[in-house]
Amino acid sequence: MSLYLDNAATTPVRPEVLEAMAPYLTRFFGNPSSHHEVGEVAASALDDARARVAAVLGMRASDVIFTSGGTESNNAAIKGLVLGSGRRHLITTAIEHESVLASADYLARLHGVAVTHAPVDGTGTLTPAALGSALRDDTALVSIGYANNEIGTVQDAAALAAVAHERGVAVHLDAVQAAGWLPLSGLGADAVTVAGHKIGAPKGTGILAVRGRLPFEPLMHGGGQERGRRSGTPDVAGAVAIARALELAEAERVDEAERVSALRDAFIARVLALIPDARLTGHPTRRLPGTASFVFPGTNGETVLLELERRGVVSSSGSACAAGSEEASHVLLAIGVDRDEARTAVRFTLPHGLTASLDPVADAAAAAVSAVGSRG
């Protein structure tokens, strides 16, 4: 079986998570809105899951909304907070996930919201000064990714939030890739997004935490569940699952980050030594512990991936949402990578629990690049 190094795309469900959620798929199946014993058991589990999530995020239980995943959470945060604010200016960057960029485009097209893409540098970093220059009196929201899903660059979220708050502007933090690797509390964010399938919970589970004092226009209308912020019968089993996964990831986070970072750094060094033309993308040090992303000039990224898989390594060329696309990565273009070179990108994203050296993977990468380059 191949070694799976595409964990930024998705992760397997953890056994502890399956065990925690299973009773709410079978025995405790009630609708938590029902006022009888069966429903009350489900409601109690939902409340407990909400409190567990809030404890990790450093927010109140009443701030936590359970969603279907990162895309819904990002859509709800951006549209809900901007439309609820009465202001008509949004700040984000050009390197964000497609769900953020598409939400910004929707607001611009259909609601007349002005959108500013604050500039990032060649490592994908947004500086507090650059954010400060983009703020306006009518800015409703700053929406940034805590850690980039393609190049792994980590933003100084607390510093950016402080700049926005000086001007009375709310901050949404897309923490989908950061969860399990970076601290999620004490950052000053007003809204935080988490996706379950990145941390060992099932696909279709997500979190949006929004501080209750903020005006919020819901996307989903109906029976007023989730304190009126997301109508629809809650997925109790999914809520239990993502709460357990987040709790486990947070408990293991510090040790995991330290160990995997060391393995990542050794892997990066070996790849760069074996493949002279290879270039690391993203910030050289302020990057996710599990992310190593490269461009291999003179090759084609998708072809390199096929060669890697032949050698027993599964990785990706960037965001899973754009897999198979012939277009160059918008993230790489935004940080100044040439369009042709951007098409040579390969991203390795490592799992929690990794203990073995990645030297064989670096060797496989060198062989794959050599095989592709020899044909060109």
Active-site annotation, residues:
321
Nearest to 220 by CA among 80, 98, 97: 80
Nearest to 317 by CA among 331, 329, 334, 309: 329
Buried b (16+ CB within 10 A) or exposed e, 80-105: bbbbbbebbbbbbbebbbebbbebbe
Compute CA 224 distance to the chain's CA centroid, rounded to the nearest angstrom. Answer: 27
Sign, CA dihedral 109-115-119-125, equals negative
- Token output for 125: 């970093």
Q: Which whole-number Å values give the CA distances from 356 to 9, 267, 344, in the listed order?
A: 21, 11, 27
Angstrom distance (rounded) from CA 281 to CA 329:
12
